[in-house]
Amino acid sequence: MNNIAIIFAGGSGTRLVNSENKIPKQFLKIYGKPIIIYTLQLFEEHSLIDKIYIAIHPDYYDFAKDLVKRYHITKVAGVVKGGASSQESIYNALKLAQSENSNDDIVLIHDGVRPNITSEVITKNIECARKNGNAITCTLCFETILVSENSKNPDHVPCRKNTYRAQAPQTFKLGEIISAHDEIRKINPNYNDIVDSCTLFHALKKDTYMAEGNRGNIKITTIEDLYILRALIRYKEDMEVFGRE
């Protein structure tokens, strides 16, 4: 069975785009390299990943294909144009993957702007999905979580030791995640309130399983996240240098 990475980067990154910066966040450069390339290289260099499929913003389709060639991301098997939502973009990439692979293959669905997962997290996802059928990358919450319907008063305060942050990758058998998408699209074609594959599965009352993630696995959403990413990349590079010494 193949292990396939589905990288979705179809958004425009409106929270980072301004009048001076019209480039979607996945193409912003950190130390001279686009964020999406940092992400792709994690899967390119992982020994258990066989193929990569990318869903990209339609306006940047050719640009993304050029980046893949320029940075020698050789495991990319296909690039598709993203849809109206992140879930639509993921579905487009999954359908392309399905046309060329087995339904029993494992797919790791990952944000193009989440470039700081570790190799160990990728491995844990594959192992968990092979054992249990799927894997949701999670980290324990260190802060108190409040649930509020009106954004003013907490309706519920869950016990912190039982709260986790769902991240990515989120990993499934290819045929099962496509079937889940097909079910949702019949009753909720616009994916309303479906923010990731985990919520998609839970909307259908399907069981999911957790795989432990790493604390630095941030999704680049705001300008503050860019500063954090710069620090994380520099820290990782320093540790590699010190390790060789």
pTM for the whole structure:
0.92
pLDDT band at 133 (very low <50, low <70, confident <90, very high): very high
Please determine, for residue 244, whether its predicted confidence score (pLDDT) is greater than 70: no
Does 89 map to a domain? yes
Contacts of 131 (CB under 8 A, 6+ apart): none
Q: Please work out, in degrees rounded to the nearest 5, the angle formed at the alpha carbon of residue 198 by the alpha carbons of 197 and 201.
A: 85
Does 97 map to a domain? yes
**Segment 95-118, tens digit of pLDDT:** 999 999 999 999 999 999 999 999
In the predicted model, what is the mean pLDDT of residues 121-135?
Answer: 98
Nearest residue to 52 (alpha-carbon basis) of 142, 64, 136, 60: 64
Contacts of 175 (CB under 8 A, 6+ apart): 98, 103, 104
CA–CA gap between residue 167 and residue 125 (Å, rounded) = 12
CA–CA gap between residue 128 and residue 77 (Å, rounded) = 24
Q: How many domains does the chain have?
A: 1
For residue 229, give the amino acid letter.
L
pLDDT value at position 62? Answer: 96
Does 147 map to a domain? no
**Segment 35-59, tens digit of pLDDT:** 999 999 999 999 999 999 999 999 9
Does 143 map to a domain? no
Does 144 map to a domain? no
CATH code for the domain in which residue 227 is found: 3.90.550.10
pLDDT value at position 13? Answer: 55
Across the chain, mean pLDDT equals 92
Please determine, for residue 164, whether its predicted confidence score (pLDDT) is greater than 60: yes
Q: In the beta sheet, which residues pair with residue 108?
A: 5, 171
Phi and psi at residue 85, in whole multiples of 5°? -140, 170
Does 171 map to a domain? yes
How many C-alpha atoms does 162 have within 13 Å on its Cβ side? 4
89: its two tokens: 């973009």
Please determine, for residue 20, whether its predicted confidence score (pLDDT) is greater than 80: no
CA–CA gap between residue 158 and residue 184 (Å, rounded) = 28
How far is CA 153 from each of CA 110, 139, 148, 158, 160, rounded to the nearest angstrom?
33, 26, 6, 14, 18
* Residue 4 · residue 171 · CB < 8 Å: no
pLDDT value at position 235? Answer: 82
In the predicted model, what is the mean pLDDT of residues 174-203?
Answer: 97
Does 149 map to a domain? no
* Residue 119 · residue 169 · CB < 8 Å: no
In the predicted model, what is the mean pLDDT of residues 153-165?
Answer: 93
Q: What is the residue range of 110's domain?
A: 3-138+165-244
Does 121 map to a domain? yes
* Residue 18 · residue 122 · CB < 8 Å: no
Nearest residue to 89 (alpha-carbon basis) of 116, 113, 121, 119: 113
